[in-house]
Amino acid sequence: MNETRSAGTGGDTGIGMGGSLPTVTARAHANIALVKYWGKRDSKLNLPAQGSLSLTLAALTTTTTVHFDAGLARDHLVLDGQVETGKAAARLSAWLDLVRASAGISLAAEVVSANDFPTASGLASSASAYAALALAASRAAGLILDARALSVLARRGSGSAARSIHGGFVRMQAGTQPDGSDAWAEPVTGGPGEPGSDAEWPLRMIIAVVGGGLVKEHASRDAMEHCAETSPLYAGWLACVPGDLVRAEQAIRARDLDDLGQVAEANALAMHAAAMASRPAVVYWQPPTLACMQAVRALRKRGLAAYFTMDAGPHVKVLVHARDASEVAAAMGAVPGVTSVISSAVGAGAEVISEVIG
């Protein structure tokens, strides 16, 4: 795997002193894009067509434990207490092969992962999942990767996961290299220094869960490719991203919530317009999704700085200042069809929470 560099400890195989590999648990938070990733320049390497920009969220967490075990005949994945055997398990094994190749091992892995929010519902579970996995699996295989290499590895599992390696506001580079070595994420320069500390710019994301967080209809991976192939609006979507990225970064550096919110809203609507124009159409919205957008506009009319964004699902995420969070959460909770509301502070980057040797 030539894109992933190892700073290396414990040699190429990473076998510990006792001859076996450690069991590593890592945690990562989901992120919500304010300038979306929607379209690839290479689907095999999962390379984005354009950059993107996100906010990491403290309230949406995946915790994952990985152990490469000589006693296992094949990879074993337990997700939210359920043994997975289908597509998710096959996708995970193909991704684990990248880690095994990089570490020079051939052992199967036990992966136990849990989300504290609904999985595969458009709440960005693949972002936190593959970010936590990249950290836990690389360490469990004996590799110590720097943040850039971790981001590249996470990206191979899910494009948005590259961003969840970091906390706060994160910018993803599309890169130009065919091998993807320059398609990685990093914190936004000049962004608030301490994610989650609230010291500098206390923001919240209010998540209005629509329809109980059921599994989404169109996986983002397939839907964005279908959109690129069939939507007459896809080219227009791609063309608006570079300018939106510049404007979003300027707004972050200026701590200008209104400007950041306006560009985030416009960008989300452009992404969904391109998706809806696909043939056949990809429509993620449900009636409560539109009602939430209307409720956000009504809050703005009353003078609140509140701005919405939506991803590959019906839920609406609203960016607000911390002082307005409870009022906005109550307004979202009052929209018929909203089944729960999550209020999240800004989250930190992926971290190892335990490493047990032997």
Residues engaged in binding ligand PMV (CB under 6 A): 33, 36-38, 52, 124, 126-127, 158-160, 220-221, 311-312
- Residues 236/355, Cβ–Cβ less than 8 Å: no
- Gap between the Cα atoms of 117 and 139, Å rounded: 25
Q: How far is the CB of 44 from ligand PMV (least distance, A)?
A: 14
Question: How far is C-alpha 238 from the chain's CA centre?
Answer: 20
Q: How far is the CB of 221 from ligand PMV (least distance, A)?
A: 5
Sign of the CA dihedral running 36, 313, 308, 31:
negative
**Pair of tokens at residue 90:** 């096959």
| Phi–psi pair at 26, nearest 5 degrees | -130, 160
* Residue whose CB is less far from ligand PMV, 48 or 288: 48
* Residue whose CB is less far from ligand PMV, 75 or 311: 311
* Residue whose CB is less far from ligand PMV, 36 or 76: 36
| Phi–psi pair at 172, nearest 5 degrees | -100, 130
Q: How far is the CB of 36 from ligand PMV (least distance, A)?
A: 4
* Residue whose CB is less far from ligand PMV, 21 or 152: 152
* Residue whose CB is less far from ligand PMV, 121 or 160: 160
Q: How far is the CB of 107 from ligand PMV (least distance, A)?
A: 27
Q: How far is the CB of 356 from ligand PMV (least distance, A)?
A: 30
Angle of helix 220-230 relative to helix 257-276, nearest 10 degrees? 70
- Gap between the Cα atoms of 102 and 68, Å rounded: 14
- Gap between the Cα atoms of 77 and 84, Å rounded: 6
- Gap between the Cα atoms of 295 and 117, Å rounded: 24
Q: How far is the CB of 122 from ligand PMV (least distance, A)?
A: 7
* Residue whose CB is less far from ligand PMV, 61 or 160: 160
* Residue whose CB is less far from ligand PMV, 127 or 328: 127
Q: How far is the CB of 267 from ligand PMV (least distance, A)?
A: 10
* Residue whose CB is less far from ligand PMV, 76 or 272: 272
Q: How far is the CB of 302 from ligand PMV (least distance, A)?
A: 29
* Residue whose CB is less far from ligand PMV, 312 or 350: 312
* Residue whose CB is less far from ligand PMV, 107 or 224: 224
**Pair of tokens at residue 196:** 């989650």
Angle of helix 125-140 relative to helix 87-103, nearest 10 degrees? 40
Q: How far is the CB of 214 from ligand PMV (least distance, A)?
A: 17
- Name the nearest CA neighbour of 308 among 344, 261, 275: 261
**Pair of tokens at residue 68:** 């490469």
Q: How far is the CB of 81 from ligand PMV (least distance, A)?
A: 22
- Residues 332/292, Cβ–Cβ less than 8 Å: yes
- Residues 164/187, Cβ–Cβ less than 8 Å: no
Largest CA distance in the chain: 65
- Gap between the Cα atoms of 275 and 223, Å rounded: 8
Q: For residue 52, what are the contacts with CB-CB under 8 A and spacing of at least 6?
A: 33, 35, 36, 37, 159, 160, 163, 171, 172, 241, 245
**Amino acid type, 254:** A
